[in-house]
A and B are shown apart, each in its own frame.
Chain A
Amino acid sequence: MTRAAARRAALVVLLLAALAFPAVFTLPFPRHVMIMIFLYGSLAVAWNILAGYCGQISLGHAVFFGIGAYTSTLLVARAGVSPWLGMLAGAALAVIVSQAVGFPVFRLRGHYFAIATIAVGEIVQTLVINWDWAGGARGVFVPIKRPDSFVNFQFNESKAVYYYIALGLLLLGLAVTRRLEGSRRGYYFRAIREDQEAAASLGVHVAREKLRAMAVSAGLTALGGTFYAQYLLFIDPEAVFPLSLSILICLVSVLGGVGTLWGPVVGAAVLVPLSEYTRVWLGGTGKALDLVIYGALIVLVAVAQPSGLVGLARRMAPRTNE
C-alpha cells in the first residue's frame, strides 16, 4: 500500500469512527466533549486560513464568532427568522465587517497587525455591551421551541444532532482549506506569509489576497458562532466576544501546528478534553488549572517545536523523500 493510500484509509476510518461515536457513547458528557472539539477545531481551522496560510496573526477573531452568534440569535428572538438563515446572514455580515476592518488594519504588519485586531475585538465587545436592543451586558436568550425541529435548530432531547452539525462545520472548514491548498490562491497566501514584497514582485495583489483570506476565515468563524448560540441557547458579550476566546482559537492552532491542514484539529483534540475534564474533576476550585496547563503546553511548543504537534509528528515519521 502506498503512503497516499494508507493516508486515505486512515482518514476513512477516522471519519467512520466520528460518525459512529454517538451510537457508542450515549451519555451527554462524552458527546459534549466531542462537540466542543469539533467547534473549537472548526474555529481554529478558520483562523488558520488567515493566520497559518496567509501569515496574518489575528487576535480578534471573537468578533466574527460573536457576529455569527448575535446575528442569528437576534434574528430569531426579534423577528422569528430560522437560525439556519441567521447563520448565513451572520456569515455574510462577518465577511462584510472583515473587509471593512481589514482594509485599514492590513496596512499594519506583524505584531502591529495582531495588536490592532485586539483593539478591534475590544471595541466591538464594548459596543455590544452598551447596545440595549441587543440585550446589552445581560445578553440574549434564544427562544425555546418545542418540539425539537431541524428548522428551529434546537435539539433538546439528544446531543447527537448537534454532534453531527458540529462535525459538519469542521469538515466544511477542512474541505475549504484542502481546496485552498491545491489552488493558486493557496500558493499566493503562503507566498504573502513568507515575504509580501517578493510576492508582489511576482504579480500577487497582496492587499486583495489578504482581504480574501480574511473573508473566508471570518465567514467560517461566524458559522461556529451561530452554532454555539443554538447549542447553549443563551449568549452575552462576555461569552462570545471576549479576547480570551480570540486567544484560545489562536492557541489551539499553534499547539496543533499552524499552516497545516490537520494542525488545528489536533490542537483542539488535545486542548478541549484537557479543559473539559479538568473542569469536571476539579470543579470551581480548579477553575484556572486548565489555563495553567494550556500555558505550559504553549511554552513547551514554542520552545521545543514551533511547528506544533503536527510538525513533531512529521519530524518523527520516517522520511520518504526530501
Chain B
Amino acid sequence: MSLLSVSGLTKRFGGVIANRDVSFAVAPGELVGVIGPNGAGKSTLFDLVTGFQRADAGRVRLDGADVTRLRPDEIAQRGVARTFQKLRPFSDMSVLENVMVGAFLRTAEVAVAREAAHHALASVGLADRADAHARGLSTGQRKRLELARALATRPRLLLLDEVTGGVDQATIPGLVRLVRELHASGLALVVIEHNMRVIMELAQRIVALQLGEVIADAPPSEIVRNPRVIDAYLGQAWRP
C-alpha cells in the first residue's frame, strides 16, 4: 500500500485554480520529485497535504486513512513533516531550542527532547551551532536547521519545499548529499526542486505540474523526454 496517496485534489483561490484534480502516490521509502514552473501549484499541494489549506475537493490518505480534514499538528502527529519555501526558523530561540520544539512531538521530557535534538542536529551537520541564535545562521545553515527540526518529529514522510533554493552553488552538494542520506535511511520524501540537475539525480519518480494539473508522472529519464514537460518547464534546450 502507498504511504501517501493523493486523489482528485482541487484547490481554488477565488478565480485561480491552484490545484486541479491532482493525483499521485508515494510508496514507503520512495523519493518523489515535484517540478513545475512558478505558480504551478507545488507549494499549494504541500499545504493541502499537510493541512495548512483546505482542499475544495479530493482526498489525502496516509496508509489508507483519510487525513484530508485534519489540522497541521494532527498531520505532523501522524508522521508527516515538512519544510517551507520561505524559511521559518524560530528566530529568537537557539538552534538547539528550535529543534527541541520538533522533538517534543514524541516526548514531554525536556532532557529527552534535548538529547533527540542534539542527535538531529548532528545528522544534518549543525552540531557545532547548537547554542547559536537561529537568526545568526546563513541560509544554507537555516535549511539544515529546518531539516533537523522536521527530522526531530521522527517522520515517516518528509516534504521538502526547495532544498537548494536561495543557497549558493558551493552549498548545494552538501544539501543534496544530506537528502540522499535521509532517503538511504528509509525515509520517504517528496521534494519540490527547481534545480533540474539536482532533482534528476535524487528522485526515483518525478511529478510535473503545470497550472495546477499533473502533466507527467514518470521516472526522471522519461520526464526529460516528455514533450509536455519540455514545453511547459524545461525549455527546448532539453530536447534531446
- B-contacting residues of A (Cβ < 8 Å)? 182-184, 187-188, 190-191, 193-195, 197-206, 259, 321-322
Report the nearest B residue to A191, measured CB to CB: B101
Question: Does B149 lie within 8 Å of A202, measured CB to CB?
Answer: yes
Question: Does A188 lie within 8 Å of B104, measured CB to CB?
Answer: yes
- Given contact pairs A188-B104, A201-B76, A203-B105, enumerate 12 new A-B contacts (beta carbons under 8 Å): A184-B113, A190-B93, A194-B93, A197-B84, A201-B52, A201-B82, A201-B84, A202-B102, A202-B149, A203-B104, A205-B73, A259-B92
In the complex, A204→B149 CA distance in Å?
A: 13
Chain B interface mostly: loop
The residues of B that contact A187 with a CB separation of less than 8 Å are 97, 100-101, 104, 113
Q: Does B132 contact A (CB under 8 A)?
A: yes
The residues of A that contact B113 with a CB separation of less than 8 Å are 184, 187
Q: Does B141 contact A (CB under 8 A)?
A: no
Report the nearest A residue to B90, measured CB to CB: A194
Q: Distance in Å from the Cβ of B92 to the closest Cβ of chain A?
A: 6
Q: What are 23 A-B contacts defined by CB distance under 8 Å?
A: A184-B108, A184-B113, A187-B104, A187-B113, A188-B104, A190-B97, A193-B92, A194-B89, A195-B88, A197-B72, A198-B84, A198-B149, A200-B71, A200-B72, A200-B73, A200-B76, A201-B52, A202-B104, A202-B152, A202-B153, A203-B77, A203-B153, A322-B131
Q: Distance in Å from the Cβ of A296 to the closest Cβ of chain B?
A: 27
The residues of B that contact A322 with a CB separation of less than 8 Å are 131-132
Partner of B90, one of A183, A195, A205, A206: A195
Interface set, chain B 80-128, CB cutoff 8 A to A: 81-82, 84, 88-93, 97, 100-102, 104-105, 108, 110, 113
Q: How many residues of B contact A (CB 8 A)?
A: 31
The residues of B that contact A197 with a CB separation of less than 8 Å are 52, 72, 84, 88
Known: A199-B101, A201-B76. A191 touches B88 (CB 8 A): no
Question: Does A198 lie within 8 Å of B88, measured CB to CB?
Answer: yes
Known: A187-B101, A195-B88, A199-B101. A204 touches B93 (CB 8 A): no
The residues of B that contact A206 with a CB separation of less than 8 Å are 73
Question: Does B76 lie within 8 Å of A202, measured CB to CB?
Answer: yes
Known: A197-B88, A204-B73. A182 touches B110 (CB 8 A): yes
Q: Does B50 contact A (CB under 8 A)?
A: yes
Closest 8 CB pairs of A and B: A194-B90, A203-B105, A203-B76, A200-B72, A198-B88, A191-B101, A202-B102, A184-B104
In the complex, A188→B102 CA distance in Å?
A: 10
In the complex, A195→B108 CA distance in Å?
A: 21
Q: Does B150 contact A (CB under 8 A)?
A: yes
In the complex, A199→B101 CA distance in Å?
A: 8
- A-contacting residues of B (Cβ < 8 Å)? 50, 52, 71-73, 76-77, 81-82, 84, 88-93, 97, 100-102, 104-105, 108, 110, 113, 131-132, 149-150, 152-153
Chain A interface mostly: helix
Report the nearest A residue to B107, measured CB to CB: A184
Q: Distance in Å from the Cβ of A103 to the closest Cβ of chain B?
A: 15
The residues of A that contact B82 with a CB separation of less than 8 Å are 201
In the complex, A322→B130 CA distance in Å?
A: 10
Question: Does B91 lie within 8 Å of A205, measured CB to CB?
Answer: no
In the complex, A188→B97 CA distance in Å?
A: 10
The residues of A that contact B73 with a CB separation of less than 8 Å are 200, 202-206
Known: A187-B97, A188-B104, A190-B90. A202 touches B77 (CB 8 A): no
Known: A191-B93, A198-B88. A205 touches B71 (CB 8 A): yes
In the complex, A204→B101 CA distance in Å?
A: 8
In the complex, A200→B77 CA distance in Å?
A: 10
In the complex, A197→B102 CA distance in Å?
A: 13
**Max chain A C-beta neighbours (<10 A), residue from B77, B84, B102, B113:** B102
Partner of A183, one of B105, B110, B153: B110
**Max chain B C-beta neighbours (<10 A), residue from A188, A190, A198:** A198
Partner of B91, one of A182, A194, A321: A194
In the complex, A198→B88 CA distance in Å?
A: 6
Question: Does A202 lie within 8 Å of B101, measured CB to CB?
Answer: yes
Q: Distance in Å from the Cβ of B214 to the closest Cβ of chain A?
A: 24
The residues of A that contact B92 with a CB separation of less than 8 Å are 190, 193-194, 259
Q: Distance in Å from the Cβ of A117 to the closest Cβ of chain B?
A: 23
Question: Does A191 lie within 8 Å of B90, measured CB to CB?
Answer: yes
In the complex, A190→B90 CA distance in Å?
A: 8
Question: Does B90 lie within 8 Å of A198, measured CB to CB?
Answer: yes
Report the nearest B residue to A204, measured CB to CB: B73
Report the nearest B residue to A209, measured CB to CB: B73
The residues of B that contact A198 with a CB separation of less than 8 Å are 84, 88-90, 149
